[in-house]
Structure 1
Amino acid sequence: MSLPATPEPDLQRSLSDPGFTPGRRHFAALLDLLAAGGEPAELAERALRRAGAAALPSALERAAAAEPAQRAPLTRLVGKLMAAAPIDPELAERARDYLLARLRDDDRRTRRMAAVALGKPAAMDAGRPLVGAALAEAARGERSPDVRRALIDALGKVGGGAALDALAELEGEDDLADARARAELLARRTLSRGEPSAIAGDRAPERPLRVAVRARRGLEAILAEELAALDQGSPAGALVPELRSDPCGGTRVEVTLSGRLDVLFGARTMLSFALPLPERALDAGGDLAAVVAERLLSRESQDALRRFTLGAIRYRIDWARGGKRRAAVFRVATAVEAAAPELVNDPTQSTWDVVVHEGAGRVRVELAPRLPDPRFGYRRGDVPAASHPTIAAALARVAGVRGDDVVWDPFVGSGLELCERALLGPYRRLVGSDRDPRALRIARENLDAAGARGAELLQRDACSAPPPGDAPTLILTNPPLGRRVERTGDLDALLTRFVESAARALAPGGRLVWISPFPERTEAAARRSGLRPEVLQRVDMGGFDAQIQRFHKEAPRARAGHGRGEGRRDDGGLRHPPRRGGRGAQEAHLRGEQHRPARQEERHDHRDDHPEPPRAVGRHVALQSDAAGPAERRRGRRG
């Protein structure tokens, strides 16, 4: 259809752009399109929803004067816009009153859209008792089955004793029995929301407890090193990390915990941890919901939930493979409530995530406590494409600690690499540089919050001369690699130039530790520039793979002290192969062996769910040889 007259002749073209956010001058034309129906109406609604609460007054004005046939899409739009935040309380009340009035509309579709909208949190926040009473009254008199179902669903979401009483009055209608049972379950879970609920992270298990700890794919060996170091001086005894990988549980590091739960936050490369329950078999066509409910009701599960929960036990179900699976969640919650009503399925105020893994005819249920993470409180600001803090922590550990380090981050961004290096151990000097003055301001806030003593920040290009003063002994950086940064040939050339510049800037004996999205090219550039690779480790960057690389610049004279058969160890906790080509420690981890550092004094203080075992995810390269290691084999998975 043709577009209505509008001061913006290119509005039709703009509607096809998912990034287009309309202004007030567009609202009238877009509301005209919404009333017309068809594909233009769908595009118009999406655009108006992107405008958010700003479009709500215009939508309410149009809806109040609309013909009956046009009120349903406008009512749906009002509900969607009402959910936009922030919204003025007076405007929220206007929208709520409009929706309440539409429960009595002559048009069946409009009544249904109003019921659906009133079951959303924004409408309930504008007056839960009033909304609940109106829904109950409408449900008693409604004759249309689909509208009645929407009213029942909304009553369940409103929750509380009044909603339960109203739902009880609707018994006897077999065609709505499932909807009513689901709504009653939802309503009952709101009754305990006044009770406090928290995880007791300072408690130890009553008996040694198995814990599955996860990191980004490629960082498992570094995570194992961190976990192995956590038991230094602990009366609870050693954590002995083991790398495990199987089709059901994916890849994780497992430890047996005897001490307090929150000690695991000492591992800065960790993404999450959970308490695994014994696996169960699931035959083809088997009842997954029944297996999950049985696991939640098991003695192991209830012992853990009661031991580590202060107050009400609330949980939500998370499917490791993704998806909401609402029907399965409802069946699990119904079965669990019938046997153990103290276990409340409440996804909005849960203290536990029940994570369900499936694979190879097995089901693995893990209990993940929602415990506040204290590790990265220094993050006061961020910039586009900044490092994830666990990646920054991994880079710092790969770099290792030397008390005489002059550390330079040429792509400092928000400063997380320098923060993590400062927290890891002593240094002589910390310097960060970036072209963006806003990034430097944010980096300063973060470094100050991390207590990074004497950190210096300079505005300059990464490929320019190094900071004045002593040459850096460590260049530690993560260049901009995120999805907001286009990975083009220009970036390839920039990073190659950077490697060449870093090789010139490094002091003899220094190292370059960074992440490369073009590992083969930057490794070749490093070798040409006189840098020898020591660590080449593929890592998941959240949607694409890159490689952690550590290069060493040879000192004028070769260092003594390494025999031909000795393996090497750096201060970052990673071990390297013996010079005659033996296996490194990480290779042992990837075979599923226990991770035990050779001596206690050698340790440094301080979620991949892929269904297949890890294969050759990294290389540790002996300094004696220029030959590249075996080619990496990709696993074709987004982390």
Structure 2
Amino acid sequence: MSDQALLERCRDRGFTPGARDVARLLELWRALRREPAQAKVVAAALCRGDGGVARKLEQSFAQAEGAERALRLRSLARIAGRVPVAGLPELLDASLEDPEPRVVREAVRAVGKLGEALPGDYEDALLRVAREAALPEQRAAVEALGRIGGEASLELLDALRDNPDPELQRRAGRARTLLERRQASALPSPLALAPTLEHPAEVRLRCRGAGRLVAEEARALLSEGWLERVQVLGEQAVHLRGQGSPAELQRLRTPLDWGLVFPLPPGGELGERVVAGVEAPALARTLQALTDGPVRFRLSFVGGGHRRALVWRVAQTLDARAAALRNDSRGVSWTVEVDEARGRLVCLPRERGDRFAYRVASLPASSHPTLAALMARVAAPRSGERVWDPFCGCAAELIECERLAPGLRLRGTDRSPEAIAAARANVAAAGLEGADLSLTQADVYAGSPGPEGAEVILTNPPMGRRTALGADGLHASLARFVDHAARVLAPGGRLVWVTPSARATAKAGRSAGLRVEDHGWIDMSGMQVTLQVLRRR
């Protein structure tokens, strides 16, 4: 592959590099050093890597030149935010002493971002950088101390009030405020979602797509009090109006999340409107009733962006007023999402509950459990049926089927040994060791569920460039699989899956004698796919 082709792959945010890609990506980054915008694209791709990428980046770390060590460390820190990186603590210890200032800055930032997830105490090391290093490293260290520091950090930050550098002063003041607020809010604020709300509420259910199916689950699982109004707003949102216990909302498996909706007051500067909205009696009383202890929240914004200056103004205003709700970045119970275009604040609980507690292992291309739950509901398996997932990944689809209909005969195959290991870990965490379930490393065409076939084939097939089904292109490969599924399905059986090639797979299904049903589209990280059912007559 040419350098230009590799660069184009890096621009695709769906490209997740593997261990075998690291050497080429580092080589390309070195070649593009004089073109910062292009080099940044390659660096971003490395940050999307997995544990295998991390291990490659750790190798020969000390022998790399300074700028490359900084790049490697930044990538390792980003990866460590998703998966464990065993060697990172030792690398951070060494990097905080590195002669290259850029490496020190990346180490300081990594400590600040990962914070409590890291073993050991890094406060003394950051204090040394803040006292002894050059100004750019001091600034980074002061900012990180605001996230992980203690009493010694407060003393240093107080001493910086009169520092001649205004930017260092500003960062020290911000860090000092963060530390003081963190100390003041040391008591936990767990959610208390069991009480029934005193007044009817508006609720937003956010989903990846197939909003009609999410609404159907809500009607099936929620008590009548919540169902005063159920409204499907496009494929990705369902709105409820009703009154009940929010704990019921935690039981829904198909939405990505749920949030209580309150008005964002109109007029004026946005920060002032947000303050007025969170101080409004209806919002404040509701969150206080559902939180065991002080109510702490963080702000987010529809459309993305941190808007740090605005967030900081909101936090300072609420602190000055000793408001019942505090905008804090640590130990928060709620996220308040600001939707300026729709004039609303959506309050989302930070605790997701244990609905997907079985997900102890995951892979970059594995299904999100909410998607698996959607497909399981559409498949509607019945106890005793044979269910086969030919690309089982981490086994979410099989687990969700068993939750709906215990007593299934479950079969999962995948050609990846890492996927089978992850699937076995998740099956064990779900408590399904005693179920009729087998997981086998096998190619899709060699790993059919047995001579009797299957009543249900339920799967999220591989769609990325690295995981194509064959050499003929994705559309042709998916059509070939449909033909295979038609032969494997038992009479009356159904293939339930998501397909990026709905027309091609529907045509292949009809040619194979299957009846085709489309159930809406699903957003898979920017790729729009169709939830499709192909039934054998």
TM-score of Structure 1 vs Structure 2, range by shorter chain: 0.7 to 0.9
CA distance in 2 between partners of 1:119 and 1:438 (Å)? 31
Task: For residue 508 of structure 1, give the secondary structure of its aligned residue in structure 2.
Answer: strand
User: What is residue 352 of structure 1 aligned with on the other side?
Assistant: 334
Separation (CA, whole Å) in 1 of partners of 2:126 and 2:218: 51
Instruction: Give the AA of the match of 2:473.
Output: D
Identify unmatched segments of 5+ residues in structure 2. 11-16, 48-53
Correspondences of 1:28-39 after superposition (within 5 Å): none
Matches within 5 A, 1:316-335: 316-335=298-317
- 1:466 shift after superposition: 4.9
Question: Would you say 1:254 and 2:239 are equivalent positions?
Answer: yes
SS at match of 1:310: coil
Choose which of 481, 485, 489 in structure 2 pairs with 1:498: 481
**1:432-447 aligned within 5 A:** 432-436=412-416, 438-447=418-427
Q: How do 1:294-313 residues align onto structure 2 when only pairs under 5 Å count?
A: 294-313=276-295
2:273 equivalent among 291, 294, 297? 291
Contact 1:78 1:95 in 2 (8 A): no
- Residue equivalent to 2:218: 227
Distance 2:449 2:140 in 1: 65
> Contact 2:453 / 2:488 at 8 angstroms: preserved in 1?
yes
Match of 1:128 in 2: 123
User: What count of residue pairs does the alignment treat as equivalent?
Assistant: 495
Matched, 1:213 2:205: yes
Residue 150 (structure 1) shift: 6.5
Q: Following superposition of structure 1 onto structure 2, how do residues 420-569 of structure 1 map, counting pairs within 5 Å?
A: 420-426=400-406, 429-436=409-416, 438-448=418-428, 449-451=430-432, 453-457=435-439, 460-463=442-445, 466-482=448-464, 484-486=466-468, 489-554=472-537
Distance in 2, Cα, partners of 1:227 & 1:389: 17
Name the residue aligned to 2:255: 270
CA distance in 2, matches of 1:460, 1:154: 47
Residues 214-270 of structure 1 show CA distances to partners (whole Å, capped at 9, x for unaligned) of 1112x2111111111223xx5x84534522549xxx952222454332221321111
| Cα distance change of structure 1 residues 228 and 15 upon mapping to structure 2, 3 Å threshold | closer
Q: Which residue of 1 aligns with 2:356?
A: 376
Matched AA of 1:326: R
Q: State the shift of 1:333 in Å.
A: 1.4
SS in 1 for 2:213: helix
Give the drift of 1:494.
2.2
Residues 75 and 114 in structure 1, CA contact (< 8 A), matched pair in contact too: no
Letter of the 1:266 counterpart: R
Local SS of the residue matching 1:455: strand
Aligned mates of 2:190, 2:182 — CA distance in 1:
17
**CA contact 1:228–1:240 (8 Å) conserved in 2:** no
Structure 1 residues 510, 181: CA separation in 2 closer, same or farther (over 3 Å shift)? same
CA distance in structure 2 between the aligned counterparts of 1:185 and 1:76, rounded to whole angstroms: 29
Give TM-score, length-normalised by structure 2: 0.75
Measured in 1, the distance between the counterparts of 2:466 and 2:107 equals: 34
Q: Give SS of 2:530's match.
A: strand
Change (3 A) 1:184 1:533: same
* CA RMSD between the two structures: 4.6
Partner Cα distance (1:446, 1:402) in 2: 22
2:392 to 392, 397, 412: 412
Higher relative contact order (CA 8 A, sep 6+): 1
Change in 2 beyond 3 A, CA 1:133/1:15: same
Match runs of 1:135-284 below 5 Å = 135=130, 153=143, 156-157=146-147, 160=150, 163=153, 181-192=173-184, 194-217=186-209, 219-231=210-222, 237-240=225-228, 242-243=230-231, 245=233, 251-256=236-241, 258-282=243-267
In structure 1, the residue matched to 2:378 is: 398
Asked whether the equivalents of residues 95 and 107 of structure 2 are also in contact (C-alpha less than 8 Å), the reply is: no
Alignment check: 8 A CA contact 2:391 2:460 kept: yes
Is this contact kept in 2: 1:472–1:505, CA < 8 A? yes
- Local SS of the residue matching 2:340: strand
Give the SS at the match of 1:269.
Answer: coil
Deviations 1:557-605 (A, max 9, x none): xxxxxxxxxxxxxxxxxxxxxxxxxxxxxxxxxxxxxxxxxxxxxxxxx
Structure 2 residue aligned with 1:632:
none
Instruction: Tell me the residue number matched to 2:13.
Output: none
- Tell me how far apart the structure 2 counterparts of residues 152 and 131 of structure 1 sit (CA, whole Å): 8
What is the SS of the residue equivalent to 1:419? helix
Which letter does structure 2 place at the counterpart of 1:507? A
The one-letter code sitting in structure 2 at the alignment partner of 1:230 is L
Q: How far off is 1:82 after superposition?
A: 10
Question: What amino acid is aligned across from residue 256 of structure 2 in structure 1?
Answer: L
CA change 1:98–1:406 in 2 (3 A) is closer
The alignment partner of 2:197 has SS state of coil
Pairing of 1:21-170 with structure 2 (within 5 A): 21=22, 86=86, 96=96, 121=111, 126-128=121-123, 131-132=126-127, 135=130, 153=143, 156-157=146-147, 160=150, 163=153
Deviations 1:302-353 (A, max 9, x none): 2123222223432221112011111111112112222235644332432221
Structure 1 gaps of 5+ residues are 1-10, 64-72, 103-109, 555-639
CA gap 1:313/1:52 in 2 versus in 1, 3 angstroms: farther
Q: CA deviation at 1:208?
A: 3.2
Query: Is the Cα contact below 8 Å between 2:388 and 2:457 reproduced in 1?
Result: yes
Give the superposition deviation at 1:473.
2.6
Amino acid at match of 1:492: H
Percentage identity across aligned positions? 34
Q: Secondary structure in 2 aligned to 1:197?
A: coil
